[in-house]
Structure 1
Amino acid sequence: MEKTAHTSHTSLEDFYREMTDKLGADLESIFPKGLHKDIGHFNVFDIAQTIEKMKMTSEMPYNRRKYYKISLIRGRNRAEYADKTIQIRQNALLFATPKVPYHWIPEDSLQSGSFCVFTEDFFIKDRSHSTLEDLPIFQPGNVPLFEIDDELADEIQELYTKIKKEIASDYIFKYDLIRNYVMELIHYGQKLQPAAKLSTSNDASLRVVSLFIELLERQFPIESPDQRLALKTAKDYADRLAVHVNYLNKKLKDSTGKTTTEIIAERVIQEAKILLRQTRWTVSEIAYALGFEEIAHFSNFFKKKTLMAPLEFRS
């Protein structure tokens, strides 16, 4: 059966709504003790218990989270990224970032391990890193998934055991200690080589095209002059999809007959026309919202694509 790749945004509120609904638990019972706004957010879960209570029999859809997630997963699985399929025979260490959507498919019923979720403001506390993306494991363009042996999986599971013990404790500085444990998890990943079983197929080509279109459409509509496009160039999109910009361009050209830049430009022009006709924003405000640093650059771009100046089109 042919499947279409879908992505969605999952916030922490969405995550906890799903967890409480499917686990049949109230928020207070699964929310960590002693956590407050100044700390950021962190929590840890057991995969076997989660799967058992959720009765998870279906695969997880493409998902782009608004938080970070580090998972030790034990069992046979398959991970699908925009252009890669990675087969996991036994154990995997997975680093999920807010920017890279992926599809995780369990391939047996013997799933176990642990995972933790955290926000950037939890982790970046008095550190030299301005963002988590300063760390190699979270830099755009990487596929941070590693197949590991039982010995290393046991070692990492012991670290998760320490995290679970600490989060349940009354130690006043427990989240400082947990940050150190999370940093250990990150170092485990940064010392590993990427999983070797990569494959590219027609399905992968369809996925990368579908995911690009969804990323593009998520930039719109522009609803406020203060809102601004986050992704503007072909490289911006390629980085989010963890593919090379030339690969993305080739797959889009093969599928649509247009380059990445041409597709982006068409969608920006479409939005520009809507804003010019349906709002009273100034041309300068529209230019800014659509990612242009100078109004002249926007005017030249618009005129080149439509043969009309922005104000001429508005009138």
Structure 2
Amino acid sequence: MNKEVAIFKDIPTLLKGLKLPPPKNPYFQIHRFEDAPDSQLNETAIFRSNTYVMALMTKGEAHYKIGLRDYEMKKGSLYFLGPKHLRYYRREQKWKGYVCIFTNDFTTQSRLPNNYSDYTFYHLDASQKLQLDDEKMFHFQELMETLLNCFETNRTNLCWHYLQVILIEAEALHRKEHESQEERPEALIVIKFNELLERHFYDIVTGKAEEIFSVNDFADKLFVHPNYLSNTLKKLTGETAGQIIKKRVVLEAKSLLLTTGMSVSQTAYSLKFNDTSYFTKFFKGAVGLTPKQYQAQNRA
């Protein structure tokens, strides 16, 4: 992967970074995984992309990390990635299926949502995966194949409408699968915390935030007591708020160290550490390697 960027700004730069052929359309791209077998990276660095992704795996296996969540993708996995999602994947077996990449510039005026972030599976706090049975997988496979055919025959307007059909059907499945757990008050706290956490770290790396929130800061934003927040997170996720924030700092540091040309001191400064030596100690305590050792080991 291109080590010069941490955030791919558009579809052309994303495809170049993933060693895929350039897109026919700068705002929309769909292809079969198996149509570009030689360009499938076995493993990526941690990165972001200012695009939306929808993918259906009909064969193969992969491990994905999206934010702090781990997903095992396999036959029947329909998954989604939004512009602010920090992500990484490791391919376990060769993939078959479809990947569709698009931006908000691909929208047109309609009664349907014209901002793709309206779909729940593109929310930062949501689960990004639907696991389909064979019947549903074949149904979405037919829809993806139709969308691909429209794209290859330059019927752009039809592409937009078929894309909406797929997203709306996926949205209905996603809401049905997750509605029961989202109704629990404690679960809502976790959802809101995760949403706030992801937005905050996006603001950190884009220079919009001056410091990393403490547990108290997150609790204030969520209008709950810090102890209640940590206890609720511990109960439902197995980790306290402080532990989750620390993991998120480490994940962001790994991304910056591997996908940018930043020095260790620049990385520390970007993550609001005033002391490089403290950042090095913090990173080594979490990873077992100094930042320089981590770079050397993973860039080899």
In the TM superposition, 1:133-172 aligns within 5 A as 133-170=117-154
Please give the alpha-carbon distance, in whole angstroms, between the structure 1 residues aligned to 2:173 and 2:110: 27
Q: What percentage of aligned pairs have identical amino acids?
A: 14
Please give the alpha-carbon distance, in whole angstroms, between the structure 2 residues aligned to 1:18 and 1:72: 21
Q: 2:52 aligns with which of 68, 79, 87?
A: 68
Q: Does 1:104 align with 2:79?
A: no
> Residues 154 and 192 (structure 1 numbering): CA distance in 2 closer, same or farther, change over 3 Å?
same
Once the two structures are superposed, what CA deviation does each residue of 1:243-300 show, in whole Å capped at 9, x if it has no partner? xx7549x65624889xx9xxxxxx89x79xxxxxxxxxxxxxxxxxxxxxxxxxxxxx
Deviation of 1:156 after TM superposition, in Å, equals 1.4
In the TM superposition, 1:6-45 aligns within 5 A as 8-12=6-10, 13-18=12-17, 22-23=19-20, 27=22, 30-32=23-25, 41-45=27-31
Please give the alpha-carbon distance, in whole angstroms, between the structure 1 residues aligned to 2:103 and 2:244: 37
Q: Does 1:87 align with 2:72?
A: yes
> Residues 213 and 184 (structure 1 numbering): CA distance in 2 closer, same or farther, change over 3 Å?
closer
Please give the alpha-carbon distance, in whole angstroms, between the structure 2 residues aligned to 1:86 and 1:55: 19
Task: Give 5+ residue unaligned stretches, structure 1.
Answer: 1-6, 36-40, 196-207, 223-227, 239-244, 261-266, 272-315
Residue matched to 1:125: 109
Please give the alpha-carbon distance, in whole angstroms, between the structure 1 residues aligned to 2:118 and 2:198: 25
Deviation of 1:150 after TM superposition, in Å, equals 2.5
Moved more, 62-71 or 161-170: 161-170
Secondary structure of the residue aligned to 1:56 is coil
Which has the larger Rg?
A: 1
Give the residue type in structure 2 aligned to 1:46: R
Once the two structures are superposed, what CA deviation does each residue of 1:187-218 show, in whole Å capped at 9, x if it has no partner? 232232559xxxxxxxxxxxx9x989964641
> Aligned Cα RMSD in Å?
4.3
Give the residue type in structure 2 aligned to 1:187: I
Q: Does 1:46 align with 2:46?
A: no
Question: Structure 2 length as normaliser, TM-score?
Answer: 0.56
Give the residue type in structure 1 aligned to 2:34: A
In the TM superposition, 1:135-214 aligns within 5 A as 135-170=119-154, 174-193=155-174
Deviation of 1:115 after TM superposition, in Å, equals 0.9
Contact 2:57-2:73 within 8 A present in 1 as well: no
Question: Structure 1 length as normaliser, TM-score?
Answer: 0.54
Task: Give 5+ residue unaligned stretches, structure 2.
Answer: 179-193, 223-228, 250-268, 274-300
